[in-house]
């Protein structure tokens, strides 16, 4: 049998995430409330659903590989040129393309330790070298330390999720602008704004294209289209040209293109989702406080709840799963004592509240029993 | 601005195909009969459509990254283990993964000159080296010459589309088995069976897994799901493991997974499509003969029609587009005098027949005028 390339052969057989279906299968559970992948319990905008249903007649046909209609609408939304918009089948796809285009084996990239695992997955798989800076104890991203590490290591890419995942924290416009200025002149900033729709646009980096910055946005979160697989980057023309040389040109499915385009027009729906998510975050904070657990103030559709210790957080995740509720937890210190819970519907939140109380109690019983 | 890696920086800004939407835009045409990308004019099986429509309620959720339900059904269909099935968002996606996993920069791969351009696109983009063997004059793939070139060049991957695209020719089971035996022991055969549903299963390579062979199948052709983006490989476990280390785990959209699974159950529909496509191929041969044009006997859902010269074939493609009909033509000799036409519905075939007569006449008028 032929061996893979030395690079691929040396990779561990890891995957960025174990999916909820696999977790449920392993736990022997057939029905799951999904509060672990920050999907939207509120679904896509009705206009997007209607447009996708209508497009079904044409599912035998490939989507437009140039995705001109969607790119035109996105360029208008962000005040940039069509040539400054790249579309992929999710931010995961775009992250892989940017890593491949800008990191040769051995090149350095800098990110916060414990931030989005799929970025790290791509960095490893292309043989690049990851340098990390830990979160501050309060869960914020240490922008000064990140920029310093980028300068020290001659990083070619700096990865920043803002709002951040998994912490939910957010750096406002001026802080990000200062951060961009502090980066070395030959570093590309990958600014992952997957959760950007949950903050006010005027708090994000000034709209449009910035030198050396690739902003990524998705339809998977506030727009409720995770299953459709569509996201985009706003980036300098040269970056879009580089991605165009290597991307899977017919990779974004036809239905997703149509759904995303229609979703952009349904601003009232997305505004309502964002407002309901804010109410849900407050509710989670109250639920956590009831049990003496701190939360990190979140600017996303999820909340991190401190369970006090890593072991207790792990037990709570397992006990919640046994009760039919899927959540995740950050892997790296100092956030590894937290669980991360997506804001679901009011009913889902209530069910989480009940199950969380049970899971905590069970965790404490276990801990006492093992003493 | 940061430069891309030397590899990506040196790539030309090419793309494997210009899409029909872009061709139509450039020609100022708003409506197009699509007979150029071998999509299915007969659409997906009704059961697939029904399953996808029902799944829409859950489009806010990512699909199962393990795609266990679909892989289980495919393993049953092909008499292999689940661990021997890899799924991607189209064969294009899978080709990119196999090239990435098995061809380091400078490694050699062998293919027929003028065969599927997207394979070549990936080979170039990963910095591997392509060695080619031309088609025989009658459009068949020269298996002996391919195997010899693979041995001479120490090729790590050999690419064979069977049935072939763009010629439509087919090598039967025994010929392929002899070809596999003639390959060097450390070469991986990528056997692209995108059109495999248009021939009898007992004429294809023996079902199941073969050492050093990656068979690829798609739902984009006979199953009418090109817009949904789902395809799979049947391959040795070690190959599936290698792809698993680098694939976009959440990349296949939820609707496609459900549609593909349901499509597998609708055998009668696919059988009817294949039978209608066979009738359509005969019809194209008669249309071509009426104008004194030869055709290549096809085992796919398209037919190559000889226009006599490269220039005439190019004019016919342009004139057909001006009449609202999208077809393509093979780029490389000896097939560059042909146009390649997808078998559409009876109505589409009739419209192609009329437009083809006009396009040929126009082409000859142009040729006389320029003398």
- Residue B101 corresponds to which tokens in the numbers above? 């996993």
Using a CB-CB cut-off of 8 Å, the residues of chain B touching A5 are 100-104, 107
Closest CA to B103 of A337, A5, A158: A5
Cα angle B208, B156, B242 (rounded to 5 degrees) comes to: 60
Q: How many percent of chain A have pLDDT more than 90?
A: 95
Does B227 sit within 8 Å of A253, measured CB to CB? yes
Residues of chain A contacting residue B246, judged by C-beta atoms under 8 Å apart: 8, 11, 125
pLDDT: is B49 or B368 the higher one? B49
Report chain B residues whose CB lies below 8 A from the CB of A37. Answer: 61-62
Closest chain B CA to residue A32: B61
Question: Maximum CA pair distance of chain B?
Answer: 64
Each residue's pLDDT tens digit, B134-165: 999 999 999 999 999 999 999 999 999 999 99
Task: Give CA separation, A323 vs A29, A116, A353, in Å.
Answer: 9, 27, 12
* Chain A residue nearest residue B16, CA to CA: A249
Q: Closest approach of chain B CAs to the CA of A4, in angstroms?
A: 5
Sheet holding B231-234, edge to edge: B85-88, B231-234, B213-218, B188-192, B157-161, B108-112, B129-133
Rounded distance, CA B300 to CA B343, Å?
9
B220 contacts on A by Cβ (under 8 Å): 62
Find the CB nearest B92 among A37, A238, A250.
A250
Instruction: Give A104's pLDDT tier (boundaries 50, 70, 90).
Output: very high
* Residue-wise DSSP of B264-329: HT-HHHHHHHHHHHHHHHHHHHHHHHHTT--B---SSSEEEEE-SSHHHHHHHHHHHHHTTEE-B-
pLDDT recorded at residue A371: 61
* Residue A1: pLDDT band with limits 50, 70, 90: confident
Nearest Cα of chain B lies from the Cα of A150 at a distance, in angstroms, of 14
Q: Choose the mutation target among A12, A41, A60, A214 for the interface with B, i.e. most B CBs under 10 Å.
A: A60
CB burial string B295-325: b at 16+ within 10 A, e below: bbebbbbbbbbbbbebebbbbbbbbbbebeb
Are A174 and A210 spatial neighbours (Cβ–Cβ below 8 Å)? no
Residue B371 has pLDDT above 70, yes or no: no
Token code pair at residue A59: 């599912």
Higher pLDDT: B338 or A16? It is B338
Q: What is the mean pLDDT of residues B48-67?
A: 96
Nearest CB partner across the interface for B5, out of A22, A61, A103: A103
Question: How far apart are the CA of A229 and the nearest CA of chain B, in angstroms?
Answer: 6
Q: How confident is the model at residue A367 (pLDDT cuts 50, 70, 90)?
A: confident
CB A70 within 8 A of CB B70: no
* pLDDT, position A364: 85
What pLDDT digit, counting tens, does each position of B172-215 carry? 999 999 999 999 999 999 999 999 999 999 999 999 999 999 99
User: Nearest CB to A59: which of B8, B228, B246?
Assistant: B228
Which one of B5, B150, B225, B262 makes the best mutation probe of the A interface by having the most chain A beta carbons within 10 Å?
B5
| CATH numbers and ranges of domains, chain A | 6-43+268-369 (3.90.1150.10), 46-266 (3.40.640.10)
- Report residue B270's pLDDT band, with 50, 70 and 90 as the boundaries: very high
Q: Name which of A100, A212, A253 is nearest B253 (Cβ-Cβ).
A: A253
Minimal C-alpha gap between B169 and chain A (Å): 24
Question: Residue B364: what pLDDT?
Answer: 85
Q: Can you give the pLDDT at residue B193?
A: 98
Nearest CA in chain B to A124: B246
The per-residue pLDDT for range B77-129, each reduced to its tens digit, is 999 999 999 999 999 999 999 999 999 999 999 999 999 999 999 999 999 99
- Number of residues that make up chain A: 371
The pLDDT value recorded for residue B369 is 75
Residue range A272-286, pLDDT digits in tens: 999 999 999 999 999
Q: Answer whether residue A14 shows pLDDT above 90.
A: no
Yes or no, beta carbons of A63 and B9 under 8 Å apart:
no
Helix (H, G, I), strand (E, B) or coil at A85: strand
User: Rounded to an integer, what distance in angstroms lies between the CA atom of residue A262 and that of residue B249?
Assistant: 26
| Alpha-carbon distance B366 to nearest alpha carbon in chain A (angstroms) | 32
Q: Is B191 exposed, middle or buried (0-12, 13-18, 19+ CB in 10 A)?
A: buried
For residue A316, give how far its alpha carbon lies from the nearest alpha carbon of chain B (Å). Answer: 23
C-alpha angle B157-B76-B43 in degrees, rounded to nearest 5: 80
Residue B72 makes CB contacts below 8 A (sequence gap 6+) with: B82
DSSP helix/strand/coil, B38: coil
Partners of residue A214 in chain B, C-beta under 8 Å: none
Of A58, A100, A249, the CB nearest to B227: A58
Residue B59 Cα, gap to closest chain A Cα (Å):
5
Average pLDDT taken over every residue of chain A: 96
Residue with tokens 């494997």: B16
Q: Report the distance separating Cα A66 and Cα A87, nearest Å.
A: 9
- Tens-digit pLDDT profile for residues A109-156: 999 999 999 999 999 999 999 999 999 999 999 999 999 999 999 999
Q: What is the reported pLDDT for A286?
A: 98
For residue A184, what is the nearest residue in chain B, using CA coordinates? Answer: B2
B42/A60 CB distance under 8 A: yes
What average pLDDT does range A8-22 have in this prediction?
A: 93
Altogether, the residues listed in chain B come to a count of 371
Q: Is pLDDT of A243 > 80?
A: yes
User: A216 pairs with which residues across the strands?
Assistant: A192, A233
Contact B125 A4 (CB under 8 A): no
Cβ separation A244–B1 shorter than 8 A:
no
């Amino acid at each position: 049998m032929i061996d893979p390339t030395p690079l691929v052969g040396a990779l561990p057989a890891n995957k960025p995430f174990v999916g909820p279906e696999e977790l449920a299968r392993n736990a022997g559970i057939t029905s799951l409330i999904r509060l672990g992948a920050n999907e939207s319990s509120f679904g896509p905008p009705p206009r997007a659903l209607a447009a996708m249903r209508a497009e079904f007649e044409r599912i035998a046909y490939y989507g437009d590989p140039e995705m001109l209609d969607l790119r035109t609408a996105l360029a208008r939304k962000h005040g940039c040129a069509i040539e400054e918009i790249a579309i992929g089948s999710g931010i995961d796809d775009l992250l892989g393309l940017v890593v491949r285009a800008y990191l040769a084996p051995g090149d350095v990239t800098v990110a916060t330790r414990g931030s989005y695992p799929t970025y790290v997955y791509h960095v490893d798989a292309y043989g690049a070298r990851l340098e990390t800076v830990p979160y501050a104890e309060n869960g914020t991203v240490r922008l000064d330390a990140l920029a310093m590490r980028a300068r020290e290591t001659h990083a070619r890419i700096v990865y920043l999720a803002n709002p951040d995942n998994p912490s939910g924290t957010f750096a406002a416009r001026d802080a990000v602008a200062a951060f961009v200025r502090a980066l070395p002149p030959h570093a590309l900033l990958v600014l992952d704004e997957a959760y950007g729709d949950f903050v006010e646009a005027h708090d994000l980096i000034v709209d449009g294209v910035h030198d050396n910055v690739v902003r990524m946005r998705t339809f998977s979160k506030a727009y409720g289209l995770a299953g459709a697989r569509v996201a985009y980057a706003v980036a300098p023309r040269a970056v879009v040209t580089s991605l165009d040389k290597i991307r899977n040109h017919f990779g974004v499915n036809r239905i997703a293109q149509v759904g995303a385009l229609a979703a952009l027009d349904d601003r009232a729906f997305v505004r309502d989702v964002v407002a309901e998510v804010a109410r849900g975050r407050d509710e989670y904070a109250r639920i956590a406080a009831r049990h003496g657990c701190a939360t990190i103030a979140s600017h996303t559709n999820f909340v991190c709840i401190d369970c006090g210790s890593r072991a207790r957080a792990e037990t709570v995740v397992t006990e919640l799963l046994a009760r039919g509720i899927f959540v995740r937890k950050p892997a790296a210190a100092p956030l590894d004592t937290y669980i991360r819970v997506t804001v679901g519907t009011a009913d889902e939140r209530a069910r989480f509240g009940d199950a969380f109380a049970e899971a905590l109690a069970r965790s404490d019983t276990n801990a006492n029993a093992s003493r």
